[in-house]
Amino acid sequence: MRLDDSRESDNVEDGRGAGVGGIRGIHLGLFGTVLVIGVGYFLGISPSAMLGLLSGGGETTQSATPVTGTADANDPQVVFVRKILASTEDVWGAYFQSMGKTYTPPKLYLFTDQVASACGMASAAAGPFYCPGDRKVYIDLSFYQQLATQFGAPGQFAQAYVIAHEVGHHVQNLLGITDTAERQESGAGRIGANHVSVEVELQADCFAGVWAQRANQAAKILEPGDLEQGLTAASSVGDDTLQKREQGTVVPDSFTHGTSAQRVRWFKRGYDGGKVEDCDTFNAGASL
């Protein structure tokens, strides 16, 4: 990616190495549980890692490479995150303005190992997530290492896609889509709720594509091979791919984020058209 002259966002909060002190008073209600597991996490893996934390026991979670210390303004990874977040602010800010709406950017909170969000406790093992309750994107940067090595999706644009996907959930929140989807999920039974979750997630992928197209149009940030990196990343976190790798079989009814092919397709659809209207996963029917 070409980000040399890109602006850096002020909305990145660095909680790395801060631990999870002071979390005992947090309310870990069912809402948080449903949210973190159904909407929040980026990957379709290990919800038990979150449940373990929510129920106060179970799994131990360790990030691969814990980052210690406080904010380092020159940490290249943090600078990168600030630049990508700033780009999403610029793109969505202008887009919302063109729709006669106001875009309030999310905060992006960097953490290590585990974090207490308004949606409950979350472990780094469950991947990056967005919490509608506090309007924050949460990322443990060690996920990028995992994305490159375990999931086979290296590169800056793969990393940018992760942020853009979570910001996509924020856009859904601002547009009222998150509320509607939660209502649908709560009355739909497990399989129905999973289906709604897939629609929500694929739309966030599509919104990530919308960002990529508009950001590139405005600032020519993409270099040859970048788009392919993003598509590889989208593919690598498909439910079928993850399930095949983790349990050897695929259970479509349990999908919450969509197949690899679907995630690639919706990301690309957003990228090709650059329009929110192209991302109506909820009425896509058989072409979801």
6 or 159: CB nearest Zn ion: 159
Helix (H) or strand (E) holding 119: none
* Residue span 193-222 as binding mask against Zn ion, x where in contact by CB under 5 A, dash where not: --------x--x------------------
120 contact partners, CB below 8 Å, separation of at least 6:
26, 28, 29, 32, 33, 35, 36, 50, 53, 54
Do the Cβ atoms of 115 and 33 come closer than 8 Å?
Answer: no
Give me the sheet containing 107-110, strands edge to edge. Answer: 12-14, 107-110, 136-139, 129-131
Q: How far is the CB of 197 from Zn ion (least distance, A)?
A: 9
What SS3 state is found at 214? helix
Q: Which parts of 76-95 interact with Zn ion (CB under 5 A)?
A: none
Q: How far is the CB of 39 from Zn ion (least distance, A)?
A: 7
Q: How far is the CB of 130 from Zn ion (least distance, A)?
A: 7
185 or 201: CB nearest Zn ion: 201
- Report d(CA 13, CA 148) in Å as an integer: 24
Q: How far is the CB of 215 from Zn ion (least distance, A)?
A: 19
16 or 263: CB nearest Zn ion: 263
CB atoms within 10 A of CB 284: 15
Q: Please tell me the count of residues contacting Zn ion according to CB under 5 A.
A: 2
- Report d(CA 274, CA 271) in Å as an integer: 5
81 or 167: CB nearest Zn ion: 167
Q: How far is the CB of 169 from Zn ion (least distance, A)?
A: 6
Q: How far is the CB of 33 from Zn ion (least distance, A)?
A: 16
C-alpha distances in Å from residue 254, one per residue of 41, 163, 194: 15, 25, 7
CB atoms within 10 A of CB 58: 14
Q: How far is the CB of 103 from Zn ion (least distance, A)?
A: 19
44 or 52: CB nearest Zn ion: 44
42 or 271: CB nearest Zn ion: 42
45 or 204: CB nearest Zn ion: 204
- Report d(CA 282, CA 92) in Å as an integer: 21
6 or 41: CB nearest Zn ion: 41
- Residue 109's DSSP bridge partners are 13, 138
Q: How far is the CB of 143 from Zn ion (least distance, A)?
A: 13
Which residue in the block uniquely carries the two structure tokens 């091979």?
225
Do the Cβ atoms of 87 and 221 come closer than 8 Å?
Answer: yes
| Contacting residues toward Zn ion, per CB under 5 A | 201, 204
